[in-house]
Amino acid sequence: MKKNITQAIILAAGMGVRLKELNRGVPKGFISLGDDKPIIEHSIDVLLDCGIKDIIIVTGFMDEHYENLRSRYPQIRTVRNEKYSETGTMYSLWCARQLFSTDFILLESDLIYEIRAIKELLQSPIKNSILISGKTEAGDEVYVGADDDWVKQISKDKKTMSSIVGEFIGVSKLSYDFYLKLIQTAEEGFDSSLLISYDMDCLVTVAEKNHLGFLKIENLLWAEIDDVSQLNKAQKVWKNIKNLSA
């Protein structure tokens, strides 16, 4: 039976060093595309429209921006990654471990996407699932390889992959049991490095023994903003997303 998910975690601790000259001294999530509302606030509005009632934001770099946002949204809670400048995304996800105990939507702060990304992921019968798209040519793509419906690889290096099924978006639906396995894997890995990622490192490791599926929306409008070239492309994608609701 499909479980009703009402919780989301947004990873927003990163410094966005590749956008340093363009983000005007704000975190990546506070970049605006054509209006005064930051992209993370658009993401929050989408989550709320889809029935998410509790949003945990893992902050770090310039966390005061997210604290100000929290003061305007009673549905938001924050937790700070105190080591944001020296850790990877999995450490940020680890920082939220005491704030929830249920299935959840996981996403990154530097994304724009259609509302159907969240709607269809929530409706998917697959308990643990990552959202993927068709080819975007956005630059810095992360590819997903699978064996039938089971995710086996998440990597930027196409040469090392077989059976590529799509591009990783940065939005996932995970059960709490799967999350606990991620935490266990992370804590074992932290002895060697705090820079491990939740996606290319921990998701793949846990998926070796636990089913991780995928939902592919071939023509989904979405973009990630990591550098100047992606920002320019995201401006165009955002116009198309806005036109859908016009």
* Residues 6+ away with beta carbon under 8 Å from 201: 88, 90, 189
Higher pLDDT, 193 or 17: 193
Cα 38 from Cα 34, distance rounded (Å): 10
| Predicted pLDDT at 228 | 81
| % of the chain at pLDDT higher than 70 | 95
**Distance (Å, whole) CA 178 – CA 212:** 9
- Identify the pLDDT of residue 2: 64
Q: How much is the pLDDT for 18?
A: 57
| Averaged pLDDT score across all residues of the chain | 94
Predicted confidence (pLDDT) at residue 85 exceeds the cutoff of 80 = yes
72 three-state secondary structure: helix
Tokens of 8: 């989301």
* In CATH, 7-244 is 3.40.50.1110: no
Q: How many CA atoms lie within 13 A of 209 on its CB side?
A: 7
Q: Is the pLDDT of residue 22 over 70?
A: no
pLDDT at site 139 = 81
CA distance 47 to 41: 10
Yes or no: say if 10 and 198 are a contact pair by the CB < 8 Å rule.
no
pLDDT tens per residue, range 43-79:
999 999 999 999 999 999 999 999 999 999 999 999 9
Q: How confident is the model over 129-185, as pLDDT tens digits?
A: 999 999 998 888 999 999 999 999 999 999 999 899 999 999 999 999 999 999 999
Burial class (CB in 10 A: 0-12, 13-18, 19+), 142: middle
**Residue 188: is its pLDDT beyond 60?**
yes
**Predicted confidence band of residue 19 (pLDDT cuts 50, 70, 90):** low
